[in-house]
């Protein structure tokens, strides 16, 4: 069966589509190839000969790739671009993948913060051309969200992978609900601790800026949100885990190209 998977992957891997669409392609082609093999095996009663004939009837993977490319939509291409940017890559550890996602978010937040500061400078100039707004306070405020947002993405991604593997017993991790509960609890504690530390280090120095943007209401919303984060991560790992695991198995195949 692994030989059949390699043959199918040679046809599907070059197709510019997202993981879900490519997984459907893979499973459909694999089922088709297995059906041909069973048919030939019943007719010949010779496994090697049936395998050879099944591969011949399956066709050239390059030709199949062209056929699959013709069915790709704009949405598939967008999904493929998104996966190239944010998706997991074979051989990459969970820690490095999570750090990469956090870094990408940090770049986005840095761009947004600089744009916000520039807009504020242009909107509130003094007669001598110097902004009356406190650029330092704004940058410190954005630093808080940069650190908090990137940290949350890193932790949610890392613990999400651990929870997924423990939930489904994948990639050497034993299937264990106790591990899932432990990872979810640890995620909640680490997220809360990180938020408190960042709050103590950055927010007190923001003065009036913090009072305007960070109120009791926003604090309560954040606290409730932290409670739901582990539940969301567990639910996501439970529902999408099988597809992610199967996708990882396919893209990790050595297809000799």
Tell me how far apart the alpha carbons of residues 219 and 78 are, in angstroms, rounded to a whole number. 36
Statement: residue 62 has pLDDT above 50: yes
DSSP 3-state assignment of 125? Answer: strand
What pLDDT, in 10s, does the model give residues 77-117? 999 999 999 999 888 999 999 999 999 989 988 888 778 76
DSSP secondary structure letter of residue 87: S
Q: What percent of the chain has pLDDT over 90?
A: 56
- Find out whether 105 and 86 touch, Cβ atoms under 8 Å: no
Mean pLDDT of the chain: 84
Question: What are the φ and ψ backbone dihedral angles of 73, each rounded to 5 degrees?
Answer: -100, 175
Take residue 113 and report the two structure tokens written for it.
Answer: 């913060």
pLDDT in tens, 111-141: 887 787 677 667 665 554 444 445 666 677 7
Which residue in 132, 153, 15 sits closest to 77, CA to CA?
Answer: 15
pTM (2 d.p.): 0.81
Residue with tokens 């650029």: 135
């Amino acid at each position: 069966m692994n030989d059949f998977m390699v043959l199918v992957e040679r046809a599907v891997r070059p197709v510019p589509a997202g993981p879900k669409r490519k997984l459907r392609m893979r499973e459909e082609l694999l089922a088709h190839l297995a059906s041909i093999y069973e048919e030939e095996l019943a007719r010949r009663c010779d496994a090697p000969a049936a395998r050879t004939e099944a591969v011949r009837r399956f066709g050239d993977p390059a030709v199949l790739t062209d056929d699959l490319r013709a069915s790709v939509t704009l949405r598939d291409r967008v999904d493929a671009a998104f996966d190239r940017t944010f998706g997991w890559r074979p051989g990459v550890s969970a820690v490095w993948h999570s750090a990469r996602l956090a870094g990408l978010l940090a770049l986005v937040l840095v761009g947004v913060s600089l744009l916000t500061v520039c807009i504020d400078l242009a909107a509130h100039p003094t007669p001598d051309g110097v902004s009356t707004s406190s650029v330092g306070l704004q940058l410190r405020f954005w630093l808080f969200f940069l650190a908090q947002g990137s940290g949350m993405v890193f932790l949610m991604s890392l613990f999400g992978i651990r929870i997924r593997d423990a939930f489904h017993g994948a990639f050497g991790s034993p299937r264990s609900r106790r591990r899932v509960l432990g990872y979810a609890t640890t995620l909640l504690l680490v997220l809360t601790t990180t938020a408190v530390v960042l709050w103590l280090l950055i927010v007190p120095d923001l003065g009036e800026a913090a009072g305007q943007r960070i109120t009791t209401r926003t604090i309560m919303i954040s606290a409730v949100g932290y409670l739901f984060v582990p539940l969301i991560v567990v639910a996501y790992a439970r529902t999408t885990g099988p597809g992610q695991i199967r996708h990882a198995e396919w893209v990790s195949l050595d297809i000799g190209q």
